[in-house]
A and B are shown apart, each in its own frame.
Chain A
């Protein structure tokens, strides 16, 4: 059901359709030109940096914006991989957000502790512990699925909210991690020490430059591909995803695959939390804990990316660009209200998730086209089965 990878037509059509609907919403509600709105959002993403003819101040601004887009893209790639890995095993890990939150909490605590450690070791231990925390958090759902058959969707939803409230307790007023020095309106933890901060390789380290977490995420893409395509574990995971019953008959330990798939999936999400925290957030505050959506965007990234490494790369770029392009910092308010644009992003995200799973819609439309006499009898898409009947 979920395991399918490959096929670029439906995701492209879906994304295009979602953007067209988004444009219609813009016209219908504000009467503004959707093209100029999208143009402003595009400029906000900094992707115009790639055009050689952009120069001078515009080029400088574009570089700053592109750094921010890639900064968002890195965790999206990882939460996307988290959802995708579970999907390939036939599991829906809707708990990426909780695993991400657990990762950030462990990363912030590790980043505050061990202050005397050398930098590479400190970073490594923080990343490893946060990744493990994510794996454990998802592993709970994996164990429950593997042993008593509790559906992972229900358990991961519950684990999301448990993570949210426990993290709120830890970070919030009177919580053990709260920085007691400030009686702030929005309680937060202290900053991590300098030795735990990820090095910045592009842009100003004082102004949220792009940190090496981006390369960690790219490496995770490679790991994802290798594990799934080149290892026994990956083969078993995919076999279970295709048909759990058949996999069981051929001697694959299905419960073990379920558990490992969930744990690995959670590890990606925990890693996402680690690089966000060690890369640019440096501390947690209550609002961020309660409003973060990175894990949920991972669902859209995985679905649009067809659960493949390459797909997740491009899908995370699309959503990172959307998120950053519509942020209050990047979007010119005189062209479009960033608050509206932020919600427009959510609508587009919802449409993508809604339509990308509905292959049959494409098949229906294709058949309708044939009925209308636009094509001949052999009008089916190449490589696509006839409307599975």
Chain B
């Protein structure tokens, strides 16, 4: 009923609806912080605080109109923006210019968000079909190792990617078999996958590469160059665009079609409808002739393949080497992004951008403010996710049948 009510609303009503106002509030909150940063450099706190308060007011209005998720988001964004702006005006200009170099921040944000997005989208397929995937971390790690090994042995990065995908898919197949056919507990299974991946990659790494580490001439996933971007007028915009997007890895660009395709597949095609049906109510799906097992198996394997791509990007697209346990919790951040984004592709991408931005900032903070500031910042994604699942900023609601094994009748 509410769907129909929304669809008959006019464009104007939608633009002044609580949701739009809440989003405006989020934007105002971000703006209040931005005003205190280069290149604007507001040196007194009045303007940023005023903008922030406007944002908070928009949020409060939206909350009062029952748009709780966006509304609380706007209030939080405004508070963070005001605090950030006050801190920034107290900070020296040289420190700010070291940390906030926008072009570098944008490109670093995208670079950090890419592996998270690949894994989170993978997780979305698995979890939407009703299979919890705690094992994303392990599947990423396997992708990172076999990507490096494959690139080394085949002498090409394409080979590395293919072998990484196969390895991730195979590990996911183990998870799927235990979760679906053996009806073992999915969280225990995913934990086992993580342990296994750590052991297998560590063992093979020591066995194959030993003390030397992966070779320095490992074939790498190429960067895509857009030299014309720096000629975009005006000069400042051109150099910003060039610093941001002029030289990014192929995998970063591939992330965007992946997002669009996965959105369309999940929400606009019969395949996606089947996946979601199986994740929400497997018995009903079974009754209308959908094979629950087949859907779940394919979804879990796809999740392993995508997570492995994210891992392979880390080893042969970003760092150009492999080290033991190199994913270092990124699979769990991806899981967090998935939950934070409400099991939707663009939601997960937004969360991955946020987490990527906090990683990018955490790496630049030490240059100006000492290393301890950056370390504490690394905890931010996890704190945000904890708040999100606690339901303070609107509850994240998982698929109904998630984690429940299905038994054919």
Contact = CB atoms under 8 A, between A and B. Distances in A.
Interface stretch (B32-40, B79-87, B99-107, B385-393): B385-393
A244 to B, nearest CB: 15
A344 interface: yes
Interface stretch (A165-173, A257-265, A269-277): A165-173
A23 interface: no
**Interface residue tally of chain A, by bracket?**
35 or more
Interface string B195-216: 1111110111011000000000
Nearest to B324: A343
Provide the main secondary structure of the chain B interface: helix
A158 B388 CA distance: 11
Nearest to B384: A158
Contacts of B376: 165-166, 169
Nearest to B204: A29
Contacts, number: 152
A30 B378 CA distance: 39
B206 A339 contact: yes
B193 interface: yes
Contact of A148 (B187, B206, B339, B390): B390
Most buried by B among A174, A296, A350, A389: A350
Interface string B323-357: 00000010010011001000000000000000000
A371 B95 CA distance: 74
B173 interface: no
Contacts of A117: none
A151 B335 CA distance: 13
A134 B336 CA distance: 23
A158 B187 contact: no
B184 A357 contact: yes
Contacts of A159: 382, 386
B395 interface: yes
A360 interface: yes
A154 interface: yes
A2 B134 CA distance: 17
A129 interface: no
A343 B371 CA distance: 31
A175 B372 contact: yes
Nearest to B370: A174
A62 interface: no
Given A151-B389, A344-B199, A358 B178 contact: yes
Contact of A361 (B182, B188, B191, B372): B182
7 contacts: A144-B390, A153-B134, A158-B336, A158-B382, A175-B375, A349-B195, A354-B189
